[in-house]
Amino acid sequence: MTPQEAAEWVQVAPWLVAFFVVGAVIIWVTRKLAPALKKITDMADDFLGEKARPGVPARPGVMERLAMQEKAQDDAARDQSAIADTLEVVRHELFPNSGKSLRDAVDGVRTDITEINGKLSNDNQRLEAVEQRVTEAIKVIEENHG
């Protein structure tokens, strides 16, 4: 090697050493930061969601899941309101009020049945009295004609 070549190597060698040292530092830093970077990218994927891939379904992000949760709450509130309205209608029918409820109708039927039972009881008593008179009349006829 000539002195001129040696001088060139002396000038280039520090740069080569620096290049390899910088490369080694970059590799070392990358290896040390890779787990943290992986956690950050995983968190970003969880927050933003992921599109579907072949064999893997899509995963909604935080904002989309929050919107789905709000919609579910709105649907539940609407259902609860409908149930409350229905319950109010049922409550209206179960207690006596304006005369148009189911309870009023049942009470009316009960009153009618009680009245009919009273009339039937009177009719039964009258029928028994008629049967007794007919029986007595038959005995009298048999005694007179028999």
To the nearest 10°, report the CA torsion of 7, 12, 17, 21.
Answer: 160
pLDDT, position 146: 63
Q: Which residue matches tokens 């080569």?
A: 16
Distance, C-alpha 122 to centroid of its chain: 59
Find out whether 61 and 47 touch, Cβ atoms under 8 Å: yes
pLDDT, position 12: 82
pLDDT, position 134: 93
Q: In angstroms, rounded to a whole number, what is the distance separating the alpha carbons of residues 17 and 65?
A: 52
Checking DSSP bridges between strand 49-50 and strand 59-60, what pairing results, if any?
antiparallel
Find out whether 49 and 60 touch, Cβ atoms under 8 Å: yes
Q: Which residues of the chain have pLDDT under 50?
A: none
Asked whether the CA dihedral 60, 63, 69, 73 is positive or negative, the reply is negative
pTM comes to: 0.46
